[in-house]
Structures are given as structure tokens and as C-alpha cells.
Amino acid sequence: SAVISQKPSRDICQRGTSLTIQCQVDSQVTMMFWYRQQPGQSLTLIATANQGSEATYESGFVIDKFPISRPNLTFSTLTVSNMSPEDSSIYLCSAQGSTDTQYFGPGTRLTVL
Amino acid sequence: EDQVTQSPEALRLQEGESSSLNCSYTVSGLRGLFWYRQDPGKGPEFLFTLYSAGEEKEKERLKATLTKKESFLHITAPKPEDSATYLCAVPLNDYKLSFGAGTTVTVRA
């Protein structure tokens, strides 16, 4: 299994600002993903973070709003840009290695005022 | 359309009162079904993967089973520490998971 850490664990931000969330995996993994979990809801995939190339975004999510980087096989960042209160959510990083199981980080709880 | 449905939405149990959670799916060509546990304010914790009808997996008081249309998560003699939201998910392709809405289990001492 993979051990995943995220920073920050939580933040309170002002409308119109941006926040970058970091995700670190303790081993090299093939796939890394970013999810959003809105209050009381299940998980929604934002994008797949591709190493060395642009991320693959799901319907309803765009690069200008959620730019993603993945410089190597153990690290990725998600930026939430030009935030509004509707972006208040938990953002989760996950990783999938040689097996088909995705392991999740502890999440980043974002509140936008 | 591919869909994952969990029931019930919430389950309140007395300590020691066994029960089952249901996850039904309409994905064609199932590539596996995953169960996760999520505690409040934390990320999902992987529990089980099931691949074929008739398969069963166990971990402590939890047992997951799979049929061609649904999966059950049985909780035997639950304890308060089993209180959590239980999520099931199926892959829509090699990596994209479709999650159910979850069942929130509360076990009272």
C-alpha cells in the first residue's frame, strides 16, 4: 500500500485568492488523482495528474480553475484558483501503483469566505 | 448510464447488533468493486477489493461479498469504533472510480 500525505490539512481563504495543495506519496506510483468531496457528498474526480504531461480533466473541471502539476512519480500539486465560497470542500489526493487499488491521502479541508 | 447506489443512507446500530450494507451497480463488464471506510474529516481508507461473483473477503468484524449485481458489507457484532461512512466504488475504466454516496454507520455502546 501507499502512504500519502497532503499539505495543508486545512485552510481558510478569502474570495478571489488561490491555494496550492501538495500531495506526497512514499513510493513511486503510476497514477495520481485529485478528488473533491463537498459537504455530505461522495467523491468526485477532478483530474488525473500525469507525470511529464498535462493533467486529464473530468467533465466540469478546467485547467484554468484547477491547474495541476506532477513533476515526478511521487509528488503532485493542485491549485484552486480565483476561489469562491462554492469551492469550499475537501480536496483529496489518491495514488495507484502496480495494483488497481487507489489509496487516499488525509484530505485538505478548504473554507472560502 | 453506469451507476453505483448504496443503501441505506444511514444505519444506527446497538453495539453487538449485526447488520449489512448494500452496494448495487449497473456497470457493464465489472473490473472489480472496492470498499472504503471514511472517518469524519479524513480520507477514505481501503478495506477490500472483490473481483468475481461469489468472492468473499473478511477483516475483523467486516465481511464483503459480491454477486453479479451487488455487493454486501456485513458488520458482525459491531463496536462503537466501527462507526464511519462506508463507501463502495467501481472502476469505469482502468483507473476512474465511480463512488456511491456512502452509508453512514453509527454504533451506540
Nearest to A6 by CA among A58, A98, A19, A18: A19
Which homologous superfamily does the CATH classification assign to the domain defined by B4-108? Immunoglobulins (2.60.40.10)
Straight-line distance from the first to the last Cα atom of chain A, in angstroms, rounded to the nearest whole number: 37
Using a CB-CB cut-off of 8 Å, the residues of chain A touching B45 are: 104
pLDDT of residue B41: 87
pLDDT of residue B2: 61
In a domain, A105, yes or no: no
pLDDT of residue A51: 86
pLDDT of residue B83: 98
pLDDT of residue A52: 83
Given a contact cutoff of 8 angstroms between Cβ atoms, the answer to whether B89 and B3 are in contact is no
pLDDT of residue B1: 61
Using a CB-CB cut-off of 8 Å, the residues of chain B touching A60 are: none
**Which sequence spans correspond to the domains of chain B?**
4-108
pLDDT band at residue B12 using 50, 70 and 90 as cut-offs: very high
> pLDDT by residue (tens digit) across B27-76?
877 789 999 999 998 999 999 999 999 999 999 999 999 998 999 999 99
B87 touches chain A (CB under 8 A): yes
Using a CB-CB cut-off of 8 Å, the residues of chain A touching B50 are: none
pLDDT of residue A53: 85
In a domain, A6, yes or no: no
Q: Which of A42, A46, A50, A110 to mutate to test the interface with B (most CBs of B within 10 A)?
A: A42
pLDDT of residue A110: 97
Q: Counting Cβ atoms within 10 Å, is residue A105 exposed (0-12), middle (13-18) or buried (19+)? A: buried
Segment A32-59 shows an average pLDDT of 92
Given a contact cutoff of 8 angstroms between Cβ atoms, the answer to whether B20 and B42 are in contact is no
CA of A111 vs chain B CAs: smallest distance (Å): 13
Check which CATH number belongs to the domain holding A22 and give it. 2.60.40.10
A50 touches chain B (CB under 8 A): no
pLDDT of residue A93: 97
Segment A36-62 shows an average pLDDT of 91
Using a CB-CB cut-off of 8 Å, the residues of chain B touching A96 are: 95
Residue span of the structural domain in which A40 resides: 17-97
Number of domains in chain A: 1
> pLDDT by residue (tens digit) across B76-104?
999 999 999 999 999 887 778 999 999 99
Mean pLDDT over the full length of chain B: 93
Segment A81-102 shows an average pLDDT of 93
A4 touches chain B (CB under 8 A): yes
Q: What angle do CA B78, A100, B88 make, to 5 degrees?
A: 35
> Among the residues of A4-56, which ranges form H helices?
none
d(CA B64, CA B74): 6
Given a contact cutoff of 8 angstroms between Cβ atoms, the answer to whether B99 and A42 are in contact is yes
Identity of the residue in B43, B49, B96 whose CB atom sits nearest the CB atom of A45: B96
